[in-house]
Amino acid sequence: DGGITQSPKYLFRKEGQNVTLSCEQNLNHDAMYWYRQDPGQGLRLIYYSQIVNDFQKGDIAEGYSVSREKKESFPLTVTSAQKNPTAFYLCASRGDTNTEAFFGQGTRLTVV
Amino acid sequence: GQQVMQIPQYQHVQEGEDFTTYCNSSTTLSNIQWYKQRPGGHPVFLIQLVKSGEVKKQKRLTFQFGEAKKNSSLHITATQTTDVGTYFCAGLPGNAGGTSYGKLTFGQGTILTVHP
């Protein structure tokens, strides 16, 4: 059953702690993306990767880090430097240069 | 950098009324995609437009891509309660191509509410 999986669905962390969000896909897609969604602000691009071992900053990369050691996996770390980390985080992948993005179910992160 | 603006932010309609959302890019796009996100869900792809001036239809939905490939619109005829959700446009920069997947930039979305 092919798809893109994010875990966990809900995540709670204390302020000042780093937290890593998981994103795994078995679609054999080269490109993967991380977006942040806040009410009324749509989807803002954090990082994206077009190939293994390479990634680029999006529009709001400060306070976040990523890695792309395997084609299937693109984890996102929300560091303590991110001032407002509470948000809904969406991971997506694309399989070809002219095709649509497939999204995971999202992780809702709450920092208290 | 590339910016994609979408209006309106909210739209409330009575069931049966029409609905339109507009998308404008600060730069020329290679293509534009539209997605729908149901409340509590994740964005799901609706359609992609590639050619200048292209018009595509999906049942009651009509999608247009501007001649300059910098703007697009989604029009829903005779809305139904099943149309409720947030509609996003997403653009790829005009220099995307070849082996470059490009930076997929989303608009802010239009939240559609349909009153029965």
pLDDT at B94: 74
CB neighbour list of residue B65: distance below 8 Å, 6 or more residues apart: B32, B49, B50, B51, B52, B53, B54, B55, B71, B72
Question: pLDDT for B43-98, tens place per residue?
Answer: 999 999 999 999 999 999 999 999 999 999 999 999 999 999 999 999 988 764 44
CA distance B30 to chain A (A): 9
Nearest residue, CB atoms, A50 vs list B42, B101, B105: B101
pLDDT at B93: 82
**In terms of CA atoms, which chain A residue is nearest residue B10?**
A40
C-alpha–C-alpha distance, residues A23 and A103, integer Å: 10
Chain A residues inside the 8 Å CB shell of B104: 33, 45, 48, 92, 94, 101
Tokens of A48: 């994206």
C-alpha–C-alpha distance, residues A3 and A39, integer Å: 26
C-alpha–C-alpha distance, residues A66 and A54, integer Å: 10
Mean of pLDDT values over A39-65 = 93
